[in-house]
Structures are given as C-alpha cells and as structure tokens.
C-alpha cells in the first residue's frame, strides 16, 4: 500500500499563462493498493460530488500509468483525502492526476521517470504548468514541446513570500475559461507579457524588487479576458493591493484570487485576506481566505 501527498498549485502567476506554476502548502492525499475489484473512497472536497467509478480522474490517470507500464488486470483500492477545493484554480485536478500516477509508479517499483510521469499527466490536463509544480514543488517554468514536457524548477524562492488566496463560493471550469481567450495576439501584447514573466520570476526568486511585482503580474494574454467570469475581479485585486499585497493574480483560470505578500506580518496577511473576502462579499459572493506558504518538495510518499 502506498500513500502519496500532493500539493495544491497556483498557475500562471499573472503573465505566465500555461508556463509558471507555484506549489502551495495545501494537500490532497492518495492512498492506493492492489485489490480484486475497483473501490474508491473520498473524504473532504468532492466526497459527495465526485464519481467513485471508472470515470473518476484518479482512476483514469492510474489506468494510463498502468498501461504505460504494460501492466494488465490490475484493480485498485483507492482512498482520496481532498483538501484542495475543486474547480477553483488551485490545481485540484493536477494534484489528483499526479497523485494517481505517482502512486501507481511507487506500487510498481518506480519504473517511470519524472519526464514520463509528467508526459501522462500533462496529456490528461492539456497544459503543463500545474502538474509540473505539483510533482516537483516550488516555482516552475514549463512548456509542452510535442507531447513532451520541458521544465525547470527554480532552486530559490523568496523565504518571506506568503500567498493569501481568496476562494469564492463559485466554480470556474478551466475548459470554459480557455474558450474565452483570443487565438491571436498583437506583437506588443506578446512582448509585454514575455517581459512580465521574467520580471515576475526574478522578483519571486529574490532577484528583483517587490515594488515591481504588481505591474509585472498584469498580463495581456488571459486575465483581461477572464474578468467576465469572475465577478468583482478588479475590486478584489484592488482590495488586496490596498491592504498591502505586493502583487495579485488570478490563480490558474480562477475562481480563486491569489495575493502575493512579501515580508509582511501575519496581521497584515489577515488584513489582505479579509479585504479580498469583503470585496467578494460586496459583489454578492461568499468566500474564505487562507494564507499559504510555498511547498518546496512537491509530491512525496508518506
Ligand atoms: N494555465 C491554465 C489556464 C491553468 O490558465 O487555463 C488552469 O488552472
């Protein structure tokens, strides 16, 4: 029997659409063992709503991993303990898929390489950013080249960085949130966004001044188009800035909004979280906030 812990992730970090990912100290666990018939038990997020049969994404990812390993006639008992909210832009599906593939790989004696795990997970996800940081932890940059995932993990992330996430009561489907984006962009939009990715990573790894973070996180590729899916997005962003966050971004495709708080006290982080919750409330949405630290390890066996 194996038990695997996988972190939540915030992707994009503003300009790094499908490129940047950051792992957070909020986890799902996947417990798995061989069994004579499929059984799936779920605790926590999705306990009542997620399927417990072959259509469960953990089961599907596990089957793909078994296929890759050429293992047949292998049924599983799976227990999921989910703390990552579903469809809120915190990488719950990436954590589920990485957890499944990582666990199968452990059961089979670690035969798949990191690249092979990522290849299966990214194929299922359709984008590499969340799965990469969920697997290897920390701040990552990723790209899909053909069906391969190319990635890099920064060895340093600022020690004084906290991520205050405001999680509203409504879901956003990533598939729908990808449909609202244009297919083509002007040269100036692409150039501005590229430089912003570099500024953002430099600041988060401690090379650049936090004063530049807010401007660096304002991209021209996805956030402006996704505003219509997130009521009060601008107001929540402004509330976080006013309360002292150095930067703020839509977490993945939303609905969570992530404020980046550098060198601030616990009280200040609470103020930032409360300000975002109040702004969502004014737009008629309940939300809660959490102050999270960066998870540097990624997926591990417990
Ligand atoms: N990069 C993906 C997107 C992340 O923005 O669509 C989804 O959480």
Pocket of ligand 1 (CB under 6 A): 11-12, 17-18, 89, 127, 129-130, 174, 177-178, 222, 252-253
Nearest atom (ligand 1) to Cα of 11: 4
Going by C-alpha positions, the residue among 142, 95, 89 that lies closest to residue 258 is: 89
Rounded CA gap, 142 and 134, in Å?
A: 12
Both 146 and 264 in one domain: the answer is: no
For residue 37, how far is its CA from the centre of ligand 1 (angstroms)?
A: 34
Query: By residue range, what is the domain housing residue 81?
Result: 2-155+297-301
Give Cα 159 distance to the centre of its chain.
20
Residue 74's pLDDT is 93
Both 66 and 97 in one domain: the answer is: yes
For residue 179, how far is its CA from the centre of ligand 1 (angstroms)?
A: 11
- Spatial CB neighbours of 70, under 8 Å, sequence gap ≥ 6: none
Read off the pLDDT of each residue in 126-136 and give the average, rounded to a whole number: 97
Residue 147's pLDDT is 83
Structural domains of the chain, count = 2
Residue with tokens 């940081």: 133
Read off the pLDDT of each residue in 279-294 and give the average, rounded to a whole number: 97
pLDDT of 231 > 90? The answer is no
Rounded CA gap, 86 and 15, in Å?
A: 23
Nearest atom (ligand 1) to Cα of 129: 1
Both 96 and 191 in one domain: the answer is: no
Nearest CA to ligand 1 atom 8: 252
Nearest atom (ligand 1) to Cα of 17: 1
Both 148 and 8 in one domain: the answer is: yes
Both 116 and 166 in one domain: the answer is: no
Residue 246's pLDDT is 98
Both 259 and 227 in one domain: the answer is: yes
Residue 175's pLDDT is 95
Both 140 and 169 in one domain: the answer is: no
Residue 250's pLDDT is 98
Both 82 and 45 in one domain: the answer is: yes
Return the CA Rg of the chain: 19
Rounded CA gap, 287 and 211, in Å?
A: 28
The mean pLDDT value of the chain amounts to 97
Both 213 and 281 in one domain: the answer is: yes
Give the confidence band of 293 by pLDDT, cuts at 50, 70, 90.
Answer: very high
Read off the pLDDT of each residue in 120-148 and give the average, rounded to a whole number: 96
Give the residue, out of 124, 132, 177, 217, with the most ligand 1 atoms within 8 A of its beta carbon, to mutate for a pocket test: 177
Give the residue, out of 222, 224, 255, with the most ligand 1 atoms within 8 A of its beta carbon, to mutate for a pocket test: 222
Residue 93's pLDDT is 97
pLDDT of 143 > 90? The answer is yes
Tell me if 231 sits within 8 A of 149, measured CB to CB: no
Both 93 and 40 in one domain: the answer is: yes
- The contacts found for 148-152 with CB under 8 angstroms, 24 or more apart, are 148/115, 148/119, 149/115, 149/118, 149/119, 149/122, 151/118
Both 175 and 266 in one domain: the answer is: yes
Nearest CA to ligand 1 atom 1: 18
Both 189 and 147 in one domain: the answer is: no
Give the residue, out of 9, 132, 252, 257, with the most ligand 1 atoms within 8 A of its beta carbon, to mutate for a pocket test: 252
Residue 298's pLDDT is 97
Please give the sequence-ordered ranges of beta strands (E in DSSP) within 45-123, or none if there are none: 75-82
Give the confidence band of 24 by pLDDT, cuts at 50, 70, 90.
Answer: very high
Which tens digits make up the pLDDT trace of 57-100?
999 999 999 999 999 999 999 999 999 999 999 999 999 999 99
pLDDT of 146 > 90? The answer is no
The first and second tokens of residue 29, run together, are 């666990």
Rounded CA gap, 102 and 65, in Å?
A: 9
Read off the pLDDT of each residue in 37-43 and give the average, rounded to a whole number: 96
Q: What is the CATH number of the domain that holds 166?
A: 3.30.70.890
């Amino acid at each position: 029997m194996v038990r695997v812990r996988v972190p939540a992730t915030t992707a994009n970090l503003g300009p790094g659409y499908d490129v940047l990912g950051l792992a957070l100290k909020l986890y799902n666990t996947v417990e798995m063992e061989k069994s004579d018939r499929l059984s799936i038990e779920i605790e926590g997020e999705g306990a009542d709503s997620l399927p417990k049969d072959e259509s469960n994404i953990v089961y599907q990812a596990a089957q793909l991993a078994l296929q890759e390993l050429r293992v047949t006639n292998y049924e599983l008992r799976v227990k999921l303990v989910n703390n990552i909210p579903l469809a809120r832009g915190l990488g719950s599906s990436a954590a589920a898929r990485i957890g499944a593939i990582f666990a199968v790989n452990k059961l089979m004696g670690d035969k798949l390489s990191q690249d092979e795990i990522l290849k299966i997970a990214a194929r299922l996800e359709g984008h590499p950013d969340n799965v990469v940081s969920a697997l290897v932890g920390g701040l990552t940059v990723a790209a899909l080249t053909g069906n391969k995932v190319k990635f890099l993990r920064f060895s340093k992330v600022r020690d004084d960085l906290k991520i205050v996430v405001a999680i509203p009561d409504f879901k956003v489907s990533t598939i729908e949130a990808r449909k609202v984006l244009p297919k083509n962009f002007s040269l100036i939009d692409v150039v501005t966004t590229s430089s912003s990715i570099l500024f953002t990573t430099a600041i988060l790894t401690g090379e650049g001044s936090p004063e530049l973070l807010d401007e660096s996180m304002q991209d021209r590729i996805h956030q402006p188009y996704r505003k219509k899916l997130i009521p009060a997005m601008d107001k929540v962003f402004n509330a976080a800035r006013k309360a002292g966050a150095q930067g703020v971004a839509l977490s993945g495709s939303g609905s969570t909004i992530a404020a980046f708080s550098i060198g601030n006290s616990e009280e200040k982080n609470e103020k930032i979280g409360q300000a975002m919750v109040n702004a969502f409330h004014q737009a008629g949405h309940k939300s809660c906030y959490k102050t999270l630290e960066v998870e540097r390890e990624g997926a591990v066996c417990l």
